């Protein structure tokens, strides 16, 4: 296995709008990030992935871009970007940008031209279709509810949008689109960007014949009105013709060959939704992307450890068939997912469970992504009313449920439970009124628990979640075995424990984690003579892990 910076890196995801406001307008911004770089450095972070910073009407919080080389006003200016890059570079922190290639905003000049008439030279830069018998051409759906097609009255055709109607899909089969997007990426690489996170990269092209999405077993068209969710993450049961088309892989290869390779080693992580190890094996690999994100554990129930373990192991073992250099990307939360502490943690043992989860993450084989706030154990937020939510997906979901006849209270509960705002509440820096995030009025409500869950308080304690997470990062950095070493799951007689060996010619480690509120006896500790290099629980019996205990033993 070839050693590379990005395999060893702990990459910290910054959701820009909620990270740090520097000018009191209630919105996180670029100068806020620059201000906090020393904090990230001391945490041991190697690189930051910053969510889109480009000009946008914010229908989908910046994932709808109207100018790829312009900076969103509330975030700052190009000079602020340059300052952030220079400061990050000085501290040895790499910067990874979020590239949204599948769609633009409908307010992007390209789309405005494209929709102006059927004869416009940019008409085919997007995906247009006359429809079938006065209806959309097929059953494709938007991830934000409703059909993926919107009728354009003016030019008399439907356009495709796999997300909101304000996010029209680009037509990646068009060479000019490819050329324009590649040039845009070159512009950012020239600024010294070290890597790219490619938003929804598996959605770039759709079936050329516009065939319906079908069930794999019956081959019948999927009736999405009968499904609980529009977005099926299930590659086993559905043929989704808007995703994972072979031409996508050719585009990724061209991107690598024509744009990235000439600049140097640019790290790429593709977001793929849905994703299976087979899809990851196509998207990532020699001449293609470096790693992929998958969403396999998005729908997991609270603390379903056996299922969690099964899923994660599937990805681990898939490396064998995916080739000698295949590599995984690990994360437990991001700006689209609930917070790990709220899914797998415990309100009774908030500290222990958050430390245990970070221990899980930082002992995996693969590139580690740590979402902002996970280092202090931030939890999901629940807002009182639908008007407090900003996520378009939540608002549409709520409206749909009301439309289906659900009562407002249940509709709110249901939409809130799945809301992406859960993990987007502002970063909790201190216990003051704006949580140290802002001196103004925050764009999205701050969690009341910032009073006791915050960075500044945890910086003062030796055994805070923050301190322990930092310790884990340092441990990972001191022992490449924890990054590259073979990964061997140990069978346990408890469904509450997760035990893993990480080993290579130099060292051997045993990682033991208790995913439950009950103490758990661990058989593999019976003969363990190793030294505990990380120990989080108070248990007096060395073979019994306390609630949410996490330990790492060095065996050699
Ligand atoms: C994935 C992003 O993470 C999400 O926030 C966004 O809504 C969609 N892609 C569409 O760009
Ligand atoms: Mg601001």
Tens of pLDDT along 327-360? 999 999 999 999 999 999 999 999 999 999 999 9
For ligand 1, the distance from its centroid to the CA atom of residue 545, given in whole angstroms, is 39
Nearest protein CA to atom 6 of ligand 1, as residue: 63
For ligand 1, the distance from its centroid to the CA atom of residue 173, given in whole angstroms, is 22
Q: How far are the Cα atoms of 158, 206, 273, 327, 513 from residue 277, in angstroms, in the given order?
A: 34, 20, 12, 11, 25
For ligand 2, the distance from its centroid to the CA atom of residue 192, given in whole angstroms, is 24
Ligand 1 in reach of 163 Cβ (< 6 A): yes
Residue 287 CB partners (closer than 8 Å, separation 6+): 253, 256, 257
Q: Which residue has the higher pLDDT, 238 or 207?
A: 207
Q: Mean pLDDT across the stretch 168-182?
A: 98
Q: Rounded distance, CA 357 to CA 468, Å?
A: 11
Please determine, for residue 226, whether its predicted confidence score (pLDDT) is greater than 90: no
Question: 3-class DSSP state for residue 74?
Answer: helix
In this structure, which CATH number among 2.60.120.10, 3.40.50.920, 3.90.400.10, 2.60.40.1180 belongs to the domain 109-160?
Answer: 3.90.400.10
Pocket residue to mutate for ligand 1, from 53, 56, 100, most atoms within 8 A of Cβ: 100
Tens of pLDDT along 127-157? 999 999 999 999 999 999 899 999 999 999 9
What's the CA dihedral at 272, 276, 278, 282 to 10 degrees? 0
Tens of pLDDT along 466-491? 999 999 999 999 999 999 999 999 98
For ligand 2, the distance from its centroid to the CA atom of residue 36, given in whole angstroms, is 14
Q: Mean pLDDT across the stretch 152-166?
A: 98
- As annotated, the residues of the chain forming the CATH 3.20.20.80 domain(s) are 5-104+175-387+428-459
DSSP codes, 372-436: TTGGGT------SSGGG---HHHHHHHHHHHHTT--HHHHHHHHHHT-GGGGTSPP--SSSTTTT
DSSP codes, 83-132: HHHHHHHHHT-EEEEEEE-SB--TTSHHHHHHHH-TTSTTGGGB-EE--B
Nearest to 427 by CA among 11, 15, 88: 15
Q: Rounded distance, CA 361 to CA 414, Å?
A: 29
Nearest to 36 by CA among 424, 510, 456, 504: 456
Count Cα atoms within 13 angstroms, Cβ side, for 346: 17
Ligand 1 in reach of 319 Cβ (< 6 A): no
Neighbours of 316 (CB within 10 A): 20
Nearest protein CA to atom 5 of ligand 1, as residue: 336
Topology of the domain comprising 486-554: Immunoglobulin-like (2.60.40)
Ligand 1 in reach of 423 Cβ (< 6 A): no
Nearest to 543 by CA among 329, 92, 197, 529: 529
Ligand 1 in reach of 498 Cβ (< 6 A): no
**Parallel/antiparallel/unpaired status of strands 128-129 and 157-160:** antiparallel
Note the ligand closest to the C-alpha atom of 396. Answer: 1
pLDDT band at residue 303, thresholds of 50, 70 and 90?
low
Ligand 1 in reach of 525 Cβ (< 6 A): no
Pocket residue to mutate for ligand 1, from 50, 53, 63, 101, most atoms within 8 A of Cβ: 63
Please determine, for residue 25, whether its predicted confidence score (pLDDT) is greater than 80: yes
Please determine, for residue 233, whether its predicted confidence score (pLDDT) is greater than 70: no
First to last CA, the chain: 21
Q: What is the pLDDT of residue 225?
A: 86
- Residue 12 is encoded by which pair of tokens? 């910290």
Residue 530 CB partners (closer than 8 Å, separation 6+): 508, 509, 510, 553, 554, 555, 556
Q: Mean pLDDT across the stretch 242-268?
A: 97
Decide if 25 contacts 440 (C-beta within 8 A).
yes
Which residues, listed in sequence order, are joined to residue 13 by a DSSP beta bridge? Answer: 49, 371
Q: Mean pLDDT across the stretch 207-223?
A: 96
Q: Which residue has the higher pLDDT, 88 or 491?
A: 88
Q: Which of 77-81, 427-431, 462-466, 524-528 has the weakest average pLDDT? A: 524-528
Catalytic positions? 199, 271
Indicate the average pLDDT of the chain: 95
- Residue 23 is encoded by which pair of tokens? 């000018």
Question: Which burial class, exposed, middle or buried, applies to 70 when counting CB atoms under 10 A from its CB (0-12, 13-18, 19+)?
Answer: middle
For residues 83-111, one letter each, b for 16 or more C-beta atoms within 10 angstroms of the residue's C-beta and e for the rest, the string is bbbeebeeeebbbbbbbbbbbbbbbbebb
Residue 447 CB partners (closer than 8 Å, separation 6+): 378, 379, 381, 425, 428, 435, 453
- As annotated, the residues of the chain forming the CATH 2.60.40.1180 domain(s) are 486-554
- What residue has token string 């990050």? 88
Please tell me whether the overall predicted TM-score, pTM, comes out greater than 0.95 for this model: yes
Q: Mean pLDDT across the stretch 18-27?
A: 98
Ligand 1 in reach of 269 Cβ (< 6 A): no
Tens of pLDDT along 398-418? 999 999 999 999 999 999 999
Q: Mean pLDDT across the stretch 422-434?
A: 98
Please determine, for residue 49, whether its predicted confidence score (pLDDT) is greater than 90: yes
pLDDT band at residue 540, thresholds of 50, 70 and 90?
confident
Decide if 45 contacts 12 (C-beta within 8 A).
yes
pLDDT band at residue 527, thresholds of 50, 70 and 90?
confident
Ligand 1 in reach of 59 Cβ (< 6 A): no
- As annotated, the residues of the chain forming the CATH 3.90.400.10 domain(s) are 109-160
Q: Mean pLDDT across the stretch 372-384?
A: 98
pLDDT band at residue 305, thresholds of 50, 70 and 90?
confident
pLDDT band at residue 511, thresholds of 50, 70 and 90?
very high
Please determine, for residue 229, whether its predicted confidence score (pLDDT) is greater than 80: no
For ligand 1, the distance from its centroid to the CA atom of residue 226, given in whole angstroms, is 24
Please determine, for residue 301, whether its predicted confidence score (pLDDT) is greater than 70: no
- What residue has token string 């010619």? 505
Q: Mean pLDDT across the stretch 283-290?
A: 96
Please determine, for residue 164, whether its predicted confidence score (pLDDT) is greater than 90: yes
- What residue has token string 């020393």? 38
Ligand 1 in reach of 65 Cβ (< 6 A): no
Q: Rounded distance, CA 7 to CA 329, Å?
A: 9
Please determine, for residue 231, whether its predicted confidence score (pLDDT) is greater than 80: no
For ligand 1, the distance from its centroid to the CA atom of residue 340, given in whole angstroms, is 19
Topology of the domain comprising 5-104+175-387+428-459: TIM Barrel (3.20.20)
Note the ligand closest to the C-alpha atom of 168. Answer: 1
Cα angle at 418 between 396 and 425, to 5 degrees?
Answer: 95
pLDDT band at residue 228, thresholds of 50, 70 and 90?
confident
Ligand 1 in reach of 391 Cβ (< 6 A): no
Three-state SS string over 229-265 comes to CCCCCCCCCEECCCCCCHHHHHHHHHHHHHHHCCCCC
Q: Mean pLDDT across the stretch 183-202?
A: 98
Neighbours of 58 (CB within 10 A): 18
Pocket residue to mutate for ligand 1, from 60, 61, 168, 423, most atoms within 8 A of Cβ: 60
Q: What is the pLDDT of residue 302?
A: 61
Q: Mean pLDDT across the stretch 430-448?
A: 98
Question: Which burial class, exposed, middle or buried, applies to 340 when counting CB atoms under 10 A from its CB (0-12, 13-18, 19+)?
Answer: buried
Please determine, for residue 37, whether its predicted confidence score (pLDDT) is greater than 90: yes
């Amino acid at each position: 296995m070839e050693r590379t910076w990005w395999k060893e890196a702990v990459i910290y995801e910054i959701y820009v709008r909620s990270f740090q406001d520097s000018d009191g307008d209630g919105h996180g911004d670029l100068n806020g990030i620059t201000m906090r770089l020393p904090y990230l450095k001391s945490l041991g972070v190697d690189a930051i992935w910053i969510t889109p910073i480009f000009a946008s009407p914010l229908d989908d919080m910046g994932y709808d871009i109207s100018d790829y080389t312009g900076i969103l006003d509330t975030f700052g200016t190009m000079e602020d970007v340059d300052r952030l890059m220079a400061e990050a570079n000085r501290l040895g922190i790499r910067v990874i940008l979020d590239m949204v290639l599948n769609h633009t905003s409908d307010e992007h000049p390209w789309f405005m031209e494209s929709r102006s008439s059927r004869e416009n030279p940019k008409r085919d830069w997007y995906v247009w279709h006359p429809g079938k018998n006065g209806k959309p051409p097929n059953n494709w759906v938007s991830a934000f509810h409703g059909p993926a097609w919107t009728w354009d009255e003016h030019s008399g055709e439907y356009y495709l949008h796999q997300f909101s109607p304000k996010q029209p899909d680009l037509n990646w089969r068009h060479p000019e689109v490819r050329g324009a997007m590649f040039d845009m990426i070159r512009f950012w690489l020239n600024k010294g960007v070290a890597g790219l996170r490619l938003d929804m990269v598996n959605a770039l092209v759709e079936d050329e014949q516009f065939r319906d999405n079908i069930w794999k077993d019956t081959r019948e068209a999927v009736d999405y009105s009968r499904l609980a969710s529009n977005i099926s993450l299930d590659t086993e049961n559905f043929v989704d013709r808007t995703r994972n088309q072979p031409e996508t892989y050719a585009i990724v290869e061209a991107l690598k060959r024509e744009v990235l390779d000439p600049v140097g080693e640019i790290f790429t992580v593709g977001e793929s939704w849905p994703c299976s190890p087979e899809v990851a094996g196509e998207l990532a690999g020699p001449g293609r992307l470096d790693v992929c994100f998958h969403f396999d554990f998005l729908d997991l129930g609270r603390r379903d450890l056996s299922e969690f373990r099964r899923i994660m192991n599937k990805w681990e073992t898939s490396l064998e068939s995916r080739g000698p250099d295949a590599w995984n990307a690990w994360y437990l939360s991001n700006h689209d997912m609930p917070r790990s502490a709220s899914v797998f943690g415990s309100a009774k043992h908030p500290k222990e469970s958050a430390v245990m989860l970070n221990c899980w993450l930082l002992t995996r084989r693969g590139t580690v992504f740590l979402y902002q706030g996970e280092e202090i154990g931030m939890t999901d937020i629940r807002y009182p009313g639908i008007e407090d939510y900003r996520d378009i997906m939540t608002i549409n979901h709520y409206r749909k449920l009301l439309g289906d006849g659900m009562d407002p209270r249940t509709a709110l509960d249901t939409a809130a439970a799945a809301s992406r705002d859960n993990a987007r509440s502002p970063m909790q820096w201190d216990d003051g009124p704006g949580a140290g995030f802002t001196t103004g009025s925050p764009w999205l409500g701050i969690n009341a628990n910032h009073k006791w869950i915050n960075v500044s308080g945890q910086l003062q304690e030796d055994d805070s979640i923050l301190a322990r997470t930092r310790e884990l990062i340092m441990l990972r950095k001191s022992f490449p075995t924890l990054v590259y070493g073979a990964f061997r799951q140990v069978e346990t007689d408890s469904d509450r424990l997760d035990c893993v060996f990480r080993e290579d010619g130099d060292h051997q480690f045993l990682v033991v984690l208790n995913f439950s509120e009950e103490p758990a006896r661990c058989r593999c500790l019976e003969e363990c003579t190793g030294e505990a290099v990380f120990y989080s629980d108070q248990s007096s019996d060395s073979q019994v892990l306390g609630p949410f205990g996490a330990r790492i033993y060095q065996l050699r």
